[in-house]
Structure 1
Amino acid sequence: MFDYLLIFVVIAIMIVGILTLRSVVKDTPHQSRLIKQIIWDIAGIATMFYVVFEKEARIKSYTKYIYAISVVLLVVVLIFGKTVYGARRWIDMGTFDLQPSELFKLAVILMLASIFSQYHKTKALILSIMAVLPAGLIFLEPDLGMTLLIGFIWFSMLLASDVEKKYIFTIVGVTIAFIPFAFFFLLEDYQRVRILALFNPEEHFREGAYNVIMSRSVIANGGIFGTGYELGTGTNMHIVPMQHTDFIFSAFAEQFGIVGTFILLGLYATILLAGLMQVGRYKDDFWEFVAIGVCSVFAFHVFENVGMNLGILPVTGIPLPFISYGGTSTLVFSALVGLLIKARAVSKKARQVM
């Protein structure tokens, strides 16, 4: 029952995304993005079903190849990638732009699931650290949001592993101590400004807080029930930059209000519940770690995107799953849901055999 519900939830969120994107690009030179996103959504649904019906053994055997390809692409994008707004994150494929970091997100979940299910304790910890090291290439693009996401995926799966907790606490302590150094010496100037803008947005209005201030204003205009579809004043005036990607939540919230927002968050919560309620009952450790990894991705994306739209988290360019415009991200999110459905399906079949 939950598996059919997951498919319905994904399609429902995609429809919401199409409707919201239509309201954003209407009467602009970018109306073609709507057609492109519809095509990507259809391809995403096909990807989801492919993963569901692919043989379990093949999925496990593909892991190392997907991981290797994604790492190679991360190197390629730094050399030959297309630069947009100062970041080199995309490879121009002619008809679309490929974002290797999105593929790495999928690859690292599969690789970590393979490592944590085959190895234990100290060896698993060392191998898992080696598996996430290519995230440094993502940081160089630069893409702080995706780098943090990879770290969150790793940490979530690490907590579920049998690695001794003393090592995990040590990692947490070292990470916290490293934050000031990273802030002053590793981040780009605009990244620091985005973080500082959280505490004093007015002072950084022109540098890093303009998007957030406009986004909050548009969201507030929606109130409890919203202005109604295509009746959002701020959305129709296009006062929020990047509203088709990073800040599309503001357009949704203005038109559908707090009530619509809670319904949307409920759809995302269904995906998380489908994965987490099964923990301890998956067929094997591989699928259990896959489910935890998938849930960590959706939790991070939704929490960070909504948070930065509300101005309570720094702007990191993290898209809202199935809502924000994007091709590679749509395919990867669809594949992740496919993996979650697959994990539940093979586990159910295994229990029936037993």
Structure 2
Amino acid sequence: MEYLKYKSNLFKIKENEFSLLDYLLIIVVIILMILGLLTLRSVVKDTSQQSRFIKQLVWDIVGIAAMIYIIFEKEARIKAYAKYLYAISVVLLVLVLIFGKTVYGARRWIDIGAFDLQPSEIFKFAVVLMMATIFSQYHKTKALILSVMTLLPAGLIFLEPDLGMTLLMAFIWFSMLLASDVEKKYILVIIVLGLVSIPFAFFFLLEDYQRVRILALFNPEEHFQEGAYNVIMSRSVIANGGVYGTGYGLGTGTNMHIVPMQHTDFIFSAFAEQFGLIGSLILVGLYGIILLAGLLQIGRYKDDFWEFVVIGVSSIFAFHVFENVGMNLGILPVTGIPLPFISYGGTSTVVFSALIGLLIKARAVSKKARQVM
């Protein structure tokens, strides 16, 4: 009996109770990080950017620490700190427009000496918690109004400019809105207004290079020198990988460094060339585990707050994977969206890890979610 009692306590730490799937999620994250490091190493070798490998390794370790911290932080504190984290992230979005470092025409990072902080990534994490708070505490019209007000600072991200992250914020909000009790007639109106506003946004709100990237999606050859070069090179490198891949470190296109920004936006092309279609499907399958781990338990979480948190986290990973892989394949516009745990990036890696921490925390505090495992 003492042995059984001890064994059961391994799965109970304070308010948490873990299932095998929760441990599997941590393993999946570590595998993705390892694959990301291997791919990054192949991209930066024989270049002046080899230090990025060590930097990313450090960020992966910090990310794992952040994930563990979120898992074991008290549930009450996570809920209580949501509004403060949201306020801090909004302040940072304002500061980046004033003091931010400009890279490739975009002001998205704040130089803090040893690293560059990307406030929009922190806002992404904070907005999930804030939206979950709103939709779980308020209902119908009031919840709709408050959620729209919460989303307004995303306009600051658009001004950086960062179209991809702005679209992500809208996607997070809309995904959580669909799961709320807001009347469907209002959601229908929002959809209609969104569709009607697309032509206006295209001609009057987007930067010239953003419009070219969208046009290049339909006629890449015509915009080869402007917005389609990265995509055409990326597709060529992916095609070179075939079904089985060229083998690690043997990617001709990757070794020749013909794809710009291959360490960030287009790192999937390097992975696909070396590991082929089979490796790419395995990679997508790993992301699928993350999504299924959260969404299959919908309706069984402890309360509405955690239900909405899981929906928000799942929408983030779904958007990032779908958009990044899509733009690498040339079927979606280039928006600068990174591939979780694979693309090089400090703030994004830590935030993705913290989001996984929220997903595991939601499961760990929800008895019903554990019972079905």
Q: Same fold (TM over 0.5)?
A: yes
Larger Rg: 2
CA distance in 1: counterparts of 2:139 and 2:369, whole angstroms: 24
- The gaps in structure 1 that reach 5 residues or longer are none
**1:78 — aligned with what?**
97
**1:298 — aligned with what?**
317
**1:213 — aligned with what?**
232
CA distance in 2: counterparts of 1:309 and 1:331, whole angstroms: 23
Query: Given the alignment, which residue of 80, 87, 90 partners 2:109?
Result: 90
Query: Given the alignment, which residue of 213, 221, 237 partners 1:194?
Result: 213
CA distance in 2: counterparts of 1:90 and 1:311, whole angstroms: 27
**2:197 — aligned with what?**
178
Cα offset, 1:265, TM superposition:
0.3
Cα offset, 1:12, TM superposition:
0.3
Query: Given the alignment, which residue of 179, 195, 203 partners 1:160?
Result: 179
Cα offset, 1:349, TM superposition:
7.5
Equivalences for residues 335-346 of structure 1 within 5 A = 335-346=354-365
Amino acid at match of 2:341: F
Q: Does 1:248 align with 2:267?
A: yes
Offset from partner CA, 1:23-77 (integer Å, 9 cap, x none): 0000000000000000000000000000000000000011001000000000000
Q: Does 1:69 align with 2:85?
A: no
Seen in structure 2, the aligned counterparts of structure 1 residues 217 and 351 have a Cα distance that, compared at 3 Å, is closer
Query: Given the alignment, which residue of 226, 229, 241 partners 2:248?
Result: 229
CA distance in 1: counterparts of 2:260 and 2:284, whole angstroms: 23
CA distance in 2: counterparts of 1:282 and 1:57, whole angstroms: 16
Cα offset, 1:22, TM superposition:
0.3
State TM-score, norm by structure 1. 0.99
Q: Give the secondary-structure state (helix, strand or coil) at the position aligned to 2:218.
A: coil
State TM-score, norm by structure 2. 0.94
Q: Give the secondary-structure state (helix, strand or coil) at the position aligned to 2:108.
A: strand
Offset from partner CA, 1:204-252 (integer Å, 9 cap, x none): 0000000000000000000000000000000000000000000000000
Cα offset, 1:88, TM superposition:
0.1
Equivalent pair of 2:364/2:370 in contact (CA under 8 Å):
no
**2:47 — aligned with what?**
28
**2:327 — aligned with what?**
308
Q: Does 1:51 align with 2:70?
A: yes
**1:41 — aligned with what?**
60
CA distance in 1: counterparts of 2:368 and 2:282, whole angstroms: 32
**1:328 — aligned with what?**
347
Cα offset, 1:186, TM superposition:
0.3
CA distance in 2: counterparts of 1:34 and 1:137, whole angstroms: 31
Structure 1 runs (4+) greater than 4 angstroms displaced: 349-352
CA distance in 2: counterparts of 1:348 and 1:304, whole angstroms: 34
Cα offset, 1:348, TM superposition:
2.3
Equivalences for residues 80-159 of structure 1 within 5 A = 80-159=99-178
Equivalent pair of 2:297/2:369 in contact (CA under 8 Å):
no
Amino acid at match of 1:98: L
Offset from partner CA, 1:56-101 (integer Å, 9 cap, x none): 0000011001000000000000000000000000000000000000
**1:258 — aligned with what?**
277
Offset from partner CA, 1:103-126 (integer Å, 9 cap, x none): 000000000000000000000000
Cα offset, 1:351, TM superposition:
7.2
CA distance in 2: counterparts of 1:228 and 1:84, whole angstroms: 33
CA distance in 2: counterparts of 1:60 and 1:350, whole angstroms: 19
Cα offset, 1:302, TM superposition:
0.1
Q: Does 1:2 align with 2:33?
A: no
Cα offset, 1:350, TM superposition:
8.7
CA distance in 1: counterparts of 2:196 and 2:278, whole angstroms: 40
CA distance in 1: counterparts of 2:63 and 2:321, whole angstroms: 19
Cα offset, 1:311, TM superposition:
0.3
Amino acid at match of 1:143: D
